[in-house]
């Protein structure tokens, strides 16, 4: 460790020891309410006169719509509106909106089984369902294409008329000179690896209540990760002024990226039904719809070519990536960009060439999903890392340590982490899983695997040259702080983290902080919760607002304590004079003094916009790159494989996160463990399957096994000892990465156990057995 790092760590440790709220394992601020069932999810919302909407969905994967007859549906008692595509103005949506290719209801043709064709609003759900069943649609079948490589071929069925060969988007990046890199390499490895279309399976299905007032005002209640951005989307998509649009966040019952964007088929349809009826319209997707109609992870195919020196140094990397878009753009363009970024980190490499293709198929759209392209890429890279390690005779841990990015390294394109605990994470998971010892005393059928990744902390440029969060803070007359913050708690503990940061900044106890989160009518601007940006961006914003309010609190305390503001310590609910902590005044008294004697309210405002830079079309930027800092993680696991059956069991997972200071270690550990579950699910069972006609054949929890608590291995969550210089109290963000690492770690462990390399997810006993049998 460098001397300056040692000194910085010692200083940080001393500062951390002073914290009374940050770094503590405190209970979630929303825990009691959630356990008591008192929070309101979208489906808990009820409004006078509210109607219920249902959608008629296409049974065909690709077909022209010849005729829609809604007569019988219209006549049903209790039906208030029936609409089809021809009743709606021509609006198309995607993220970014410029790529808009999806109408709320299909007009000319349907593009996947589940495409929305018509919709009904009725006085209750049952009536709406009956009415939907009465709508008659005549289709003219079109040829179906489900495989993206087939879809790219000339002559394949064309799903959208505005693109050629079904290629929605391409990315071609080139850093250094990859051909030169390969020439300078001792070995060049070429592998083809692929991943599947994992569904989000949030316990709360998607839904909303839409209200479009006759005076033009539009209100959408939904469990959005990003209400302020979606407000902009909604206004621009509908062509109405932003000031007329409100998005009100209900409690979110799982998001994982799927609740980042607007869904034309319920968000927009509910609004159009509301416009027609003049009443609020609730639409809640059924579990089956949730499976086959909402977005999935992009299934991906990588042709990965890597040049290395004999000593393991990675010299060059070339990638051809194909992402299966499904029927509509969703956020695919951003996901393809994210995929491209991911070949330049977390390992040092100078020459990188990337060619990526986003290809339409007649399946459900893929969209944002925890990891945002990273699980797919990391599966490819980390599996190949072990192939390289074996060939070179280097231990996988050592190969990774050798190439691991360090703080202040500048990666191709300009990405520069200001803090980096990757090597620490690798060492700690190796130690926790007993890597060195188990490698020496190998037990038959058991194997060890490791994988590493990095993640963004925000991402500049999604809308404009910013990655901003804003906040207001008030300390009331009883010394209770309230936060107004535009970030959404996805269930990750965001509200708790914000509250802890404000409590620490003001010297309050956590119980004396309240938080109001996103309703675009009552919380200030924020770009939303995605790319692990919450703790860094919102955290710094609420900290800045708290520090602004703190000035008033300090001034009042200084008067009461007969001292200078610079000598006042605010800590644990009290104000005292530095070095004389025994004489302390409750902050409730300080606040009351400020309001009622000094006649000064305690108000703060603040914002944070990082020093990051927008990437250009070629992936170039200047340090620190598109994020202010970056997150790192390593994960090691042990598996047992039964050679007779191919069945395997993950025995133990050690997952280490460099998330900077853990504002609440328990919450970080929760994120780590949850991520491992989703990652092992992705690796083994989770993925939509389609028959030849394009119908999803496992759109239920019976047919689609989810990785649950009872499947979980022993967990050793680890938090690296890193303090980020830009983060609030040194924090960066702690999520997404343990998911990303799990599939390759498992794949590598299975190889270690039985020398079977699964290059195509999912990893199944059948595939293992087949490989074993083939020998």
737-754 vs 665-684: helix axis angle to the nearest 10? 50
Query: In whole angstroms, how close is the CB of 249 to a copy of itself at the nearest point?
Result: 14
| Of 97, 348, 438, 482, the one binding a copy of itself by CB under 8 A | 482
Nearest-angstrom CA–CA distance, 170 and 336: 8
Residue matched to tokens 């390399």: 757
Position 18 contacts a copy of itself (CB under 8 A): no
Position 177 contacts a copy of itself (CB under 8 A): no
Nearest-angstrom CA–CA distance, 706 and 746: 17
User: In this structure, what token pair is assigned to residue 751?
Assistant: 């190889």
Query: In whole angstroms, how close is the CB of 760 to a copy of itself at the nearest point?
Result: 42
Position 472 contacts a copy of itself (CB under 8 A): yes
Nearest CB to a copy of itself, comparing residues 84 and 517: 517
Nearest CB to a copy of itself, comparing residues 349 and 481: 481
Query: In whole angstroms, how close is the CB of 550 to a copy of itself at the nearest point?
Result: 14
737-754 vs 765-774: helix axis angle to the nearest 10? 30
Nearest CB to a copy of itself, comparing residues 245 and 340: 245
Q: Which residues pair with 304 in a beta bridge?
A: 191, 319
Q: Which residues pair with 351 in a beta bridge?
A: 316
Query: In whole angstroms, how close is the CB of 352 to a copy of itself at the nearest point?
Result: 29
Residues numbered 288 to 307 that lie near a copy of itself (CB under 8 A) are none
Query: In whole angstroms, how close is the CB of 630 to a copy of itself at the nearest point?
Result: 20
Count of Cβ atoms closer than 10 Å to residue 189 Cβ: 16
Query: In whole angstroms, how close is the CB of 259 to a copy of itself at the nearest point?
Result: 21
| Of 313, 474, 563, 764, the one binding a copy of itself by CB under 8 A | 474
Nearest-angstrom CA–CA distance, 370 and 670: 15
Stretch that binds a copy of itself, among 99-107, 289-297, 473-481, 626-634 (CB under 8 A): 473-481
Residues numbered 393 to 452 that lie near a copy of itself (CB under 8 A) are none
Nearest-angstrom CA–CA distance, 649 and 363: 32
Count of Cβ atoms closer than 10 Å to residue 620 Cβ: 14
Position 466 contacts a copy of itself (CB under 8 A): yes
The per-residue b/e assignment along 78-106, b for 16 or more CB within 10 angstroms, e otherwise, is bbbbbbbbebbeebbbbbebebbbbbbbb
Stretch that binds a copy of itself, among 175-183, 210-218, 317-325, 332-340 (CB under 8 A): 210-218
Nearest-angstrom CA–CA distance, 370 and 495: 19
Nearest CB to a copy of itself, comparing residues 74 and 466: 466
Backbone angles phi, psi at 230, to 5 degrees: -70, -30
Query: In whole angstroms, how close is the CB of 379 to a copy of itself at the nearest point?
Result: 35
| Of 18, 44, 170, 691, the one binding a copy of itself by CB under 8 A | 44
Stretch that binds a copy of itself, among 193-201, 350-358, 464-472, 632-640 (CB under 8 A): 464-472
Identify the CA nearest to 694 among candidates 464, 420, 362, 402: 362
Count of Cβ atoms closer than 10 Å to residue 1 Cβ: 8
Nearest CB to a copy of itself, comparing residues 418 and 515: 515
Query: In whole angstroms, how close is the CB of 551 to a copy of itself at the nearest point?
Result: 12
Nearest CB to a copy of itself, comparing residues 129 and 476: 476
Q: What is the 3-state secondary structure (H, E, C) of 670-686?
A: HHHHHHHHHHHHHHHCC
Position 97 contacts a copy of itself (CB under 8 A): no
Count of Cβ atoms closer than 10 Å to residue 55 Cβ: 24
Position 540 contacts a copy of itself (CB under 8 A): no
Count of Cβ atoms closer than 10 Å to residue 125 Cβ: 16
Position 484 contacts a copy of itself (CB under 8 A): yes
Query: In whole angstroms, how close is the CB of 47 to a copy of itself at the nearest point?
Result: 9
Cβ–Cβ under 8 Å, residues 514 and 482: yes
Stretch that binds a copy of itself, among 13-21, 51-59, 300-308, 479-487 (CB under 8 A): 479-487
Query: In whole angstroms, how close is the CB of 38 to a copy of itself at the nearest point?
Result: 8
Cβ–Cβ under 8 Å, residues 329 and 365: yes
Residue matched to tokens 């049974």: 59
Nearest CB to a copy of itself, comparing residues 213 and 311: 213
Query: In whole angstroms, how close is the CB of 35 to a copy of itself at the nearest point?
Result: 10
- Please give the size of the binding site for a copy of itself, defined by CB under 8 A: 51
| Of 149, 150, 191, 477, the one binding a copy of itself by CB under 8 A | 477
Query: In whole angstroms, how close is the CB of 728 to a copy of itself at the nearest point?
Result: 17
Nearest CB to a copy of itself, comparing residues 477 and 559: 477
| Of 274, 470, 664, 738, the one binding a copy of itself by CB under 8 A | 470
Stretch that binds a copy of itself, among 98-106, 262-270, 363-371, 514-522 (CB under 8 A): 514-522
Residue 761, CA distances (Å) to 113, 167, 194, 301, 341 in order: 24, 23, 6, 10, 22
Give 556's contacts (C-beta < 8 A, 6+ positions apart): 590, 591, 593, 594, 598, 600, 602
Nearest CB to a copy of itself, comparing residues 450 and 627: 627
Position 38 contacts a copy of itself (CB under 8 A): yes
DSSP-assigned letters across all residues of 361-374: -SSPPB---TTTTH
Position 773 contacts a copy of itself (CB under 8 A): no
Query: In whole angstroms, how close is the CB of 194 to a copy of itself at the nearest point?
Result: 38
Nearest CB to a copy of itself, comparing residues 597 and 708: 597
DSSP-assigned letters across all residues of 87-154: GS----B-SSGGG--B-SS-SSEE-STT-EEEEEEESSHHHHHHHHHH-EEEEEE------HHHHTST
**Binding marks (x or -) toward a copy of itself, 515..534, rule CB under 8 A?**
-x----xx-xx---------
Sign of CA dihedral 606, 609, 610, 611: negative
Can you say how many angstroms the Cα of residue 26 is from the centroid of all Cα atoms in its chain? 24
Nearest CB to a copy of itself, comparing residues 176 and 601: 601
The per-residue b/e assignment along 330-340, b for 16 or more CB within 10 angstroms, e otherwise, is bbbbbbbbbbb
Residues numbered 573 to 632 that lie near a copy of itself (CB under 8 A) are 592, 595-597, 599-601, 603-605, 607, 609
Query: In whole angstroms, how close is the CB of 719 to a copy of itself at the nearest point?
Result: 30
Residue 479, CA distances (Å) to 249, 471, 507, 517, 602 in order: 27, 18, 10, 20, 9
Query: In whole angstroms, how close is the CB of 672 to a copy of itself at the nearest point?
Result: 29
Residues numbered 211 to 250 that lie near a copy of itself (CB under 8 A) are 213-215, 232, 235, 241-243
Nearest-angstrom CA–CA distance, 428 and 434: 10
Cβ–Cβ under 8 Å, residues 148 and 197: no
| Of 463, 706, 712, 772, the one binding a copy of itself by CB under 8 A | 463
Query: In whole angstroms, how close is the CB of 463 to a copy of itself at the nearest point?
Result: 6
Cβ–Cβ under 8 Å, residues 204 and 380: no
Burial of 539 per CB tally in 10 Å (0-12, 13-18, 19+): buried
Q: What is the dihedral of CA 94, 95, 99, 101, to 10 degrees?
A: -10
Query: In whole angstroms, how close is the CB of 548 to a copy of itself at the nearest point?
Result: 8
Backbone angles phi, psi at 283, to 5 degrees: -130, 120
Nearest CB to a copy of itself, comparing residues 30 and 427: 30
Query: In whole angstroms, how close is the CB of 285 to a copy of itself at the nearest point?
Result: 22
Summarize as ranges the residues that interact with a copy of itself (CB under 8 A): 32, 36, 38, 44, 46, 48, 213-215, 232, 235, 241-243, 463-468, 470, 472, 474, 476-480, 482, 484, 511-512, 514, 516, 521-522, 524-525, 548, 592, 595-597, 599-601, 603-605, 607, 609
């Amino acid at each position: 460790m460098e001397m300056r790092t040692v000194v910085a760590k010692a200083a940080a440790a001393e500062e951390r020891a002073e914290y009374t709220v940050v770094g503590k394992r405190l209970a979630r601020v929303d825990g009691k309410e959630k356990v008591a069932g008192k929070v309101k999810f979208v489906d808990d919302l009820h409004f006078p006169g509210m109607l219920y909407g249902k959608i008629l969905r296409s049974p065909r994967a690709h077909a022209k719509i010849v005729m829609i007859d809604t007569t019988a549906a219209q006549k049903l008692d209790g039906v208030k509106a029936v609409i089809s595509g021809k009743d709606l103005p021509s609006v198309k949506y995607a993220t970014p909106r410029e790529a808009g290719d999806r109408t709320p209801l299909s007009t000319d043709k349907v593009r996947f089984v589940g495409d929305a064709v018509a919709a009904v609003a009725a006085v209750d759900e049952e009536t709406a369902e009956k009415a939907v069943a009465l709508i008659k649609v005549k289709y003219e079948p079109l040829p179906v294409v489900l495989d993206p490589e087939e879809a790219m071929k000339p002559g394949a069925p064309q799903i959208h008329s505005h693109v050629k060969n079904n290629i929605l988007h391409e990315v071609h990046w080139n850093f250094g000179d990859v051909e030169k890199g390969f020439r300078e390499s001792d070995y060049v490895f070429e592998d083809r690896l692929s991943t599947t279309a994992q569904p989000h399976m949030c316990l709360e299905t998607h839904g909303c209540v839409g209200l479009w007032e006759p005076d033009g005002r539009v209100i959408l209640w939904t469990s959005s990760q990003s209400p302020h951005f979606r407000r902009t989307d909604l206004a621009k998509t509908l062509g109405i002024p932003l000031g007329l649009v409100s998005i009100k966040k209900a409690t979110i019952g799982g998001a994982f990226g799927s609740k980042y964007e607007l869904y034309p088929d319920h968000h927009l349809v509910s609004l159009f039904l509301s416009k027609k009826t003049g009443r609020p319209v609730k639409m809640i997707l059924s579990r089956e719809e949730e499976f086959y109609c909402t977005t999935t992870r992009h299934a991906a195919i990588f042709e990965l070519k890597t040049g290395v020196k004999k000593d393991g140094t990675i010299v060059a990397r070339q990638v051809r990536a194909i992402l299966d878009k499904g029927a509509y753009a969703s956020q695919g363009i951003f996901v393809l960009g994210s995929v491209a970024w991911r070949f330049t980190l977390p390992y040092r490499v100078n020459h990188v060439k990337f060619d990526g293709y986003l290809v339409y198929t007649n399946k459900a759209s893929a969209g944002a999903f925890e990891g945002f392209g990273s699980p797919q890429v990391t599966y490819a890279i980390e599996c190949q890392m072990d192939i390289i390690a074996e060939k070179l005779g280097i231990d996988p841990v050592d190969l990774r340590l050798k190439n691991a990015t360090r703080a202040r390294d500048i990666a191709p394109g300009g990405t520069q982490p200001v803090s980096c605990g990757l090597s620490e994470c690798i060492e700690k998971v190796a130690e926790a899983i007993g890597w060195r010892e188990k490698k020496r005393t190998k037990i038959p059928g058991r194997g060890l695997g490791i994988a590493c990744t990095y993640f963004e902390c925000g991402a500049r440029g999604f809308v404009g040259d910013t990655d901003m969060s804003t906040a207001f803070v008030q300390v009331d007359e009883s010394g209770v702080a309230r936060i107004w913050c535009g970030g959404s708690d996805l269930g990750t503990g965001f509200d708790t983290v914000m509250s802890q940061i404000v409590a620490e900044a003001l010297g309050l106890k956590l119980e004396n902080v309240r938080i109001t989160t996103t309703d675009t009518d009552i919380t200030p601007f924020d770009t939303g919760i995605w790319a692990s940006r919450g703790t860094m961006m919102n955290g710094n914003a609420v900290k800045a607002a708290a520090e602004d309010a703190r000035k008033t609190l300090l001034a009042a305390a200084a008067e009461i304590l007969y001292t200078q503001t610079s000598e006042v310590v605010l800590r644990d609910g009290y104000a005292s004079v530095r070095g004389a902590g025994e004489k302390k005044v409750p902050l409730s008294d300080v606040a009351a003094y400020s309001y009622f004697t000094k006649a000064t309210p305690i108000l703060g405002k603040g914002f944070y916009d990082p020093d990051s830079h927008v990437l250009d079309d070629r992936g170039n930027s200047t340090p620190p790159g598109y994020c202010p800092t970056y997150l790192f993680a390593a994960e090691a696991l042990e598996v047992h494989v039964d050679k007779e059956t191919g069945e395997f069991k993950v025995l133990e997972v050690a997952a280490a996160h460099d998330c900077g200071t853990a504002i609440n270690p328990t919450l970080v550990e929760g994120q780590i463990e949850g991520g491992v579950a989703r990652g092992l699910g992705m690796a083994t069972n989770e993925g939509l399957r389609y028959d030849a006609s394009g119908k999803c054949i496992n759109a239920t929890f019976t047919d689609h096994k989810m990785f649950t608590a009872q499947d979980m291995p022993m967990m050793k969550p680890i938090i690296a000892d890193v303090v980020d210089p830009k983060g609030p109290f040194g924090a960066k963000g702690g999520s997404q990465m343990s998911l990303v690492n799990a599939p390759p770690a498992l794949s590598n462990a299975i190889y270690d156990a039985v020398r079977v390399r699964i290059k195509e997810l999912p990893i199944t006993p059948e595939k293992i057995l087949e490989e074993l049998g083939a020998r």
